Amino acid sequence: MIYHFCRRSDYSSDAELYINETLSTQGFIHCSPRDHVHVPATLRARGQPDLVVLEIDETRLPKPPVWEDGDPPDPDGRLFPHVYGPIPTAAVVAVHDLPPRPDGSFAPL
């Protein structure tokens, strides 16, 4: 499984595909392994109260994710899964709430 955080209003299970703005600006959708999704969420969306995490079964994607450096690169050399295309909602097996902690950071899933 791979994970992607987004605003609740940006994801609809009724749509056939999920498309994030980074697909058009960077050519891929940023994802994370389960144990690390809270790190980019805290970096990019600190304190945002309306986030969810999409749990994605990568075997249901049209193409497998590509594991590459993050943006910025992880100081420990950790790689992140990038999805080069829209994500079929059939690949999203669960949607988890991601509430911020009092300091605005996010806890691990």
CATH 3.20.170.20 fits 6-97, yes or no: yes
pLDDT at residue number 105: 96
pLDDT at residue number 54: 97
pTM: 0.91
pLDDT at residue number 13: 87
pLDDT at residue number 74: 75
Of 3, 14, 108, nearest in space to 57 by CA: 3
Averaged over successive runs of 10 residues, the pLDDT of the chain (109 residues) comes to: 96 92 92 92 93 97 92 80 96 96 94
Domain boundaries, the chain: 6-97
pLDDT at residue number 69: 85
| C-alpha to C-alpha distance for 28 and 83, rounded to whole angstroms | 5
